[in-house]
Amino acid sequence: MNWEEIFVALPKLLDGAVLTLELVFISCIIGFVIAIPVALMRASQNWWVSNIPLIYTFFFRGTPLLVQLFLFYYGAAQFDAVRESIFWPVLKEAYWCALIVFALNTGAYTAEIFRGAIQAVPHGEVEAGIAIGMQKHTLYRRIVLPRAIRMALPAYGNEIILMLKSSALAYTITLFDLTGVTRTIIARNYLAIEMYFTAGVIYLLMTFIFIQVWMRVEKRLLKFQN
């Protein structure tokens, strides 16, 4: 182990880790905002309402993230119509492409996690709400969604950790995230073991801190169960 070189590379690797965190944080927030309405539609009794968003979740859960990134970044850019559209200034940037694809991807998984949780809300609680005369949107806002999100917390935390690791694909579209920086450094100093080891430790640390925070959130929100 060449500790000296690890020390030299550390500031650059941490810069990369900041971009990784940024990508995961923002895409998970956008993904959450997408997931709630999609989950509600997916949980609907109406066949049409339930199956239209299925096209979206099916595509993003059924294809590799790498393929989605390449289709969106390299693929779309091949069409003149895309390059001449008003969206090009955004789509031109690898950063925005990564954010959009990550958000849509995690949004699809999160929506299915929430759909399962919505459908698992005990009937008795819903019926109680109806019995005291709640309107449908009040019922959802005060009973179904708070209950469903609490039930979904462990699975949702898992999804965020998966997203943190999937974000390592950002380097394939020229971003200098933690993995991108690591590979770029290795191309110069050939110290693959040292650099991947350090990157692995940084990923582990990020995951570790996230799990601690998430456990506290779970404990707080699920207090009523204990």
Rule CB under 8 A: which residues touch other proteins? Answer: 74, 77-78, 83, 92, 94, 171-172, 174, 180, 183-184, 186-188
* CB contact at 8 A, 113 and 160: no
Nearer to other proteins, 59 or 79 (CB): 79
Nearer to other proteins, 25 or 190 (CB): 190
Angle at 121 between CA 218 and CA 164, to 5 degrees: 40
Distance between CA 211 and CA 222 in Å, rounded?
16
Distance between CA 30 and CA 28 in Å, rounded?
6
Nearer to other proteins, 12 or 165 (CB): 12
Question: Could you tell me the smallest distance in angstroms from the CB atom of residue 187 to other proteins?
Answer: 4
Question: Could you tell me the smallest distance in angstroms from the CB atom of residue 7 to other proteins?
Answer: 20
Nearer to other proteins, 102 or 176 (CB): 176
Question: Could you tell me the smallest distance in angstroms from the CB atom of residue 94 to other proteins?
Answer: 8
* CB contact at 8 A, 163 and 210: no
Distance between CA 175 and CA 93 in Å, rounded?
10
The Cα-based distances of 8 to 12, 188, 201 in angstroms read 8, 13, 16
Nearer to other proteins, 71 or 211 (CB): 71
Question: Could you tell me the smallest distance in angstroms from the CB atom of residue 175 to other proteins?
Answer: 9
CA 174 from centroid of its chain's CA atoms: 20
Question: Could you tell me the smallest distance in angstroms from the CB atom of residue 108 to other proteins?
Answer: 25
